[in-house]
Amino acid sequence: MRKLIEFIRSVYVAVLFVVLEALAVSYYAHSTHYTQARLLARSNQLAGGVHGLMAGVHRYFTLGSENRVLLDRVAQLEERLARYEEVVAASRLDSCLQGIGESKYRFAVASVVANSINRQQNLITLNRGLRDGVQPEMALLSPAGAMVGYVVDCSDRYAVAMSVLNTSFRVSGRLAGSDYFGSIYWDGVDPHVVVLGELSKYADPQPGDEVVTTGFSQYFPEDVLIGEVESAELNETRTAYTVRVRLAAEMSRLTDVVLVGNRDLYEIRELQQSEQIEQHTRLK
């Protein structure tokens, strides 16, 4: 009890001061309407600041969950954008094909899923497959109509094509406006240049001359643009030219392609492999 009385004696001055200050503030606060309004505004401002601080602290500790929600939303929007761009690209290419009448060739469009240019055996993967009418041995052209490659295999939803930048790629090509032709292949050196080999020494190729397909190939229609002559030189026996051709298609920026199928391909192949043909070609 004595200790309690001594504690009260030690702090009563401070307690009395606080009580008197509280009474003074209370009296001042209720003295006039103006004073009441001022104090209310100040108290609201202080309370608002405290609430804002607490809200900021709360938001800081919930930034992780909010960031995950935003990332999910961004992923959804990116997926929608990709679908939209795919539809736009397909529509753009479809419009390029309008007006093409019935012929021995049929056309389709596809987007490039994967493409390589820095290997010896480069391939192109497309987002169209068997269920979309894509078949092996369909030719690939750029949207501008330049040679790109041809399909080698298909699944239901995807197709894989051999790029012109593949050392196994072969097709016949000729100088535009002439009958001189040779074999188009890639030597694996420059991803912008292919070789037109075995071109007659009478062809006289000049830099800038266009090189197109011959139509002898079962893959490509006739007169599909391959590229332009960059340089030419006679072989050691001086019997044929080896021509370096700069590709018209920009292979490193390929995003969409036009697929071309020969409607008569399988009929021609079946005929060529018929028993009667074999009988006439069998060695006696």
Parse the chain into domains and list their residue ranges. Answer: 56-99, 105-272
The three state secondary structure string of 208-251 is: CCEEEECCCCCCCCCCCEEEEEEEEEECCCCCEEEEEEEECCCH
Q: pLDDT per residue over 80-111, tens digit each?
A: 776 676 666 666 666 655 544 456 778 888 89
> pLDDT confidence of 284, banded at 50, 70, 90?
very low
- pTM value is 0.63
Q: Please give the CATH superfamily to which domain 105-272 belongs.
A: Rod shape-determining protein MreC, domain 1 (2.40.10.340)
> pLDDT confidence of 218, banded at 50, 70, 90?
confident
Would you call 75 helix, strand, or coil by DSSP? helix
